[in-house]
Amino acid sequence: MQAYKLDPRAAQEFLRFAGGFWRGDGARRAWLLTFGLAVSLSLSTAVTVALNRWQRWFFDALEKKDAETALWAVGVFFLIIAAMAALGVAIVLTREALQVRWRAWIVERLIGLWVGRNRFYLLAATHTEPDNPEYRISDDTRWATEPMVDLVIGIFSAVIGAAAFITILWSVGGSYTLRLGDTTLIIPAYMVLLALAYGALASGLMLWIGRALVGCVARKNASEGEFRFALMRMRENAESVALIGGSKAEEAALKTLYGTVVDRWLAIVRQHGIITWVTNASGPMIPVVPLLFAAPKYFAGEFTLGEVVQLAAAFVQVQLAISWIVDNYSRLSEWFASARRVMELVEASAGLDERLAEVGSGRIAFVRGAPDEIRLTGFRVDDTRGQALVAAGSLVLPFGQRAHIQGSTSTGKSVLVRAMAGLWPWGRGEIALPPGASVMVVPQKPYVPLGSLRNALTYPTRDAAPSEADLRQALGDAGLTHLVHRLDAIERWDQLLGNGERQRLCVARLLIQKPDVILMDDALAALDEPSQLELEGRIAARLPGVTLISFSQRPRALLTDIVPFEIDRKGAVPVISRLEPEPA
């Protein structure tokens, strides 16, 4: 676990990234909400100052037993309260709207960073993805925005409140004459100095005592993400776990993971306990300290009762402003931990882009080729360190025909599929495709999106919807006739369908979307070989002119319309070569 501390540079990085909300699209709305919130807060402070002045007016009237003035003061009091209530509503509306809009902006950018350019795959494949990116996007964005808005509101209110009430302490409190024997010492603005000293002492003590809280919060957030991921993973693999009798082992593992969550929460609890020593010791003293220091001048007749009450209230407001960090250190720690986790995902994406940019000449290039062939020239697929995984040299695959590439385990079939699909850039050489040829990959693990069966058939295209007849025909050709009446049923199809049915669903998807080149990475492995050949033949019949290249561990029956290739791993690097027929 990375050590976390309140690093100003890390905070600056987050604010630079998240500050785009006020610079890019939607900046006008962002500034309107910000301006509205600032105006509401300023007016709220003005009303609070008015209430402070009202206290002096009212208590002076009580001291003088001036009933008429006191009655007027009561009427004014209700006007002040009404203004406070209206401004409170305005603050709530603008604050929460700003929080929602800001978080939405950040989430959209993070989704674009993580999903865009297939970074979600490449980060995982290169082992550079931060843990639980989905938790960072869904939860950490909330804890990095909502508290930030509240904290900025607190700082803004503290600054303008301190400025307003320090003026009152200065003007009303005046100076204090301290006599020590024959020496007379005049302390100017002594109530201001007292408030500053008291707040500085409490805030400094809080920073020193609570510095370990940031790391505790970061570790707790990370363990929460790990526990949530483990729960999700078990639910997604419920059948496999149940069939192999793994429920006890999973239960123990989940309890262990949550035990870590509990331990890290308790570490936060201990830190909160230490911090509470400071807050509970300093808090009750705040309203009492100004009374003690104002009492001598009151007894000397230099202060009226109203002035004493006004000074005490102003001291409290200044103290709350100065000690803002004392009251908000826990929230500041939570904000920093979540902001740091958000930025780790941003930085990982940026780092991946830098590595991809550094590939340079070591990148597999896609070029326009002849209309009747797929040609691999000087082709080699590497890992991210430049080590060769599989090579083809120069190879020609006939366009518009079926080809089968056979290779045993760990010969590089899957990485070859990724490279030919344009997903894996590391390597060298060229892949020449016919002009305008569309490529569609069918992975070994079929993916079925959420939603209706119709949505699963048309995924991921967003073009014009196919006709009902085409959808039914595709399901029938793929051997899924029993599902034609459930096209609009919204189910968890990824769990409802068996593995073989999901692979047949992918075949139906091919028949709907009609690509020019199909790469099938053991995509029908859950079916027997006759069924595989039948489905591949159905694809070739329904999509005349399609180039279908299948990859599997098993050799394919030698049929006249299937061109066979083999990945030979006799040398240091597996090499793809065309199988020539044995001489009669």
- pLDDT tens, 268-295? 888 888 777 777 766 677 777 777 777 8
Mean pLDDT of 373-378: 88
In a domain, 3, yes or no: no
Q: What distance, in Å, lies between the first and last C-alpha atoms of the chain?
A: 65
Contact 304, 60 (CB under 8 A): yes
For residues 388 and 342, state if they share a domain. no
Does one domain contain both 376 and 352? Answer: no
Which one is predicted more confidently, 40 or 157?
40
In which band, very low, low, confident or very high, does the pLDDT at 584 lie, cut at 50, 70 and 90?
very low
pLDDT given at position 462: 66
Question: Which DSSP string corresponds to 61-97?
Answer: HHHTT-HHHHHHHHHHHHHHHHHHHHHHHHHHHHHHH
* Cβ 412 vs Cβ 574: under 8 Å: yes
Q: Strand 439-442 and strand 427-433: pairing?
A: unpaired
DSSP three-state, residue 261: helix
Report the interhelical angle of 213-236 vs 247-282 (nearest 10°).
Answer: 160
What pLDDT digit, counting tens, does each position of 449-468 carry? Answer: 888 999 889 888 866 678 88
Burial class for 494, CB neighbours closer than 10 Å (0-12, 13-18, 19+): middle
Interatomic CA distance for residues 147 and 135, integer angstroms: 17
**406 has pLDDT over 50:** yes
216's CB contacts (< 8 A; 6+ apart) are 264, 267, 268, 271, 333
Residue 285 lies in a domain: yes
The amino acid that residue 144 corresponds to is A
Of the ranges 306-315, 445-454, 465-474, which one carries the lowest mean pLDDT score?
306-315
Q: What is the pLDDT of residue 348?
A: 92
Same domain, 302 and 380: no
Mean local confidence (pLDDT), 294-313: 79
Q: Is residue 319 a contact partner of residue 165, using CB atoms and an 8 Å limit? A: no
407 phi and psi, to 5 degrees?
Answer: -165, 140
Query: Is 435 a domain residue?
Result: yes
pLDDT at 581: 54
Distance of alpha carbon 105 from alpha carbon 455, whole angstroms: 27
Torsion of CA 494, 496, 501, 507, to 10 degrees: -40
Inform me whether the pLDDT recorded for 361 exceeds 90: no
Q: Which of 343, 358, 373 is the last residue of a domain?
A: 358
324 vs 497, which has greater pLDDT? 497
- Give the whole-angstrom CA distance, residue 520 versus residue 99: 46
Q: CATH code at 505?
A: 3.40.50.300
CB 98 within 8 A of CB 33: yes
% of the chain with per-residue pLDDT over 90: 21
Q: Burial letters for 414-452: b for 16+ Cβ neighbours within 10 Å, e otherwise?
A: bbbbbbbbeebbbbbbebbbbeeeebbbbbbebebeeeb
Question: Could you report the per-residue pLDDT of 481-493, keeping only the tens digit for each?
Answer: 999 999 999 988 8
Question: What are the CA-CA distances from residue 228 to residues 134, 222, 340, 486, 529 (Å)?
Answer: 10, 10, 20, 33, 40
User: Do 269 and 370 share a domain, yes or no?
Assistant: no
In this structure, the chain runs to a length of 584
Among 325, 358, 391, residue at a domain's last position: 358
Residue 527 within any structural domain of the chain: yes
Q: Does residue 2 lie in a domain region?
A: no
In the predicted model, what is the mean pLDDT of residues 306-314?
A: 78
- Evaluate if residue 563 carries a pLDDT over 70: yes
Does residue 341 share a domain with residue 371?
Answer: no
Q: What is the mean pLDDT of residues 300-322?
A: 77
Rounded Cα distance between 217 and 219, Å, is 5
Q: Which residue has the higher pLDDT, 311 or 140?
A: 140
- CA gap 504, 535 in Å, rounded: 8
Residues 443 and 311 in one domain: no
Same domain, 372 and 289: no
Q: Per-residue confidence at 325, pLDDT binned at 50, 70, 90? A: low
Does 416 fall in a domain? yes
Give the residue from 311, 343, 358 where a domain finishes. Answer: 358
**Rounded distance between C-alpha atoms, residue 111 and residue 120, angstroms:** 9
Distance of alpha carbon 301 from alpha carbon 236, whole angstroms? 78
Structural domain includes residue 583: no
Please compute Rg for the chain using Cα positions: 35
**346 and 377 within one domain:** no
**For residue 93, what pLDDT is reported?**
94
Both 277 and 374 in one domain: the answer is: no
Which has the higher per-residue pLDDT, 283 or 432?
432
Rounded average pLDDT over 509-521: 91
Note if the bond before 435 is cis, omega within 30 degrees: no
3 or 462, which is more confident:
462
Q: Are 80 and 51 in contact (CB under 8 A)?
A: yes
Q: How many CB atoms lie within 10 A of CB 383?
A: 14
Note whether residue 52 is domain-resident: yes
Q: Is the pLDDT of residue 583 over 50?
A: no
CATH of the domain at 26: 1.20.1560.10
Closest CA to 578 of 317, 373, 274, 295: 373
Of 111, 97, 96, nearest to 141 by C-alpha is 111
pLDDT score of 288: 77
pLDDT of residue 326: 64
DSSP 543: S
**278 and 379 housed in the same domain:** no
Please check whether residues 346 and 401 belong to one and the same domain: no
> Which residues have C-beta within 8 Å of that of residue 40, sequence separation ≥ 6?
87, 90, 91, 94
Secondary-structure percent of the chain, ordered helix, strand, coil, rounded to 5: 65, 15, 25
Q: How many domains does the chain have?
A: 2
- Most confident range (mean pLDDT) of 143-147, 175-179, 320-324, 333-337 is 143-147
d(CA 36, CA 30): 10
- Which domain does 53 fall in, by range? 8-358
Residues 375 and 308 in one domain: no
Q: Are 458 and 466 spatial neighbours (Cβ–Cβ below 8 Å)?
A: yes
pLDDT in tens, 520-557: 988 888 888 888 888 988 898 899 888 888 888 776 65
Residue 1 — pLDDT band, cuts 50, 70, 90?
Answer: very low
Range from 91-100, 125-134, 206-215, 221-230 that averages highest in pLDDT:
91-100
Q: Is the per-residue pLDDT at 499 higher than 70?
A: yes
Residues of the chain with pLDDT > 70, as a percent, come to 92
pLDDT at 2 over 60: no
pLDDT at position 49 is 83
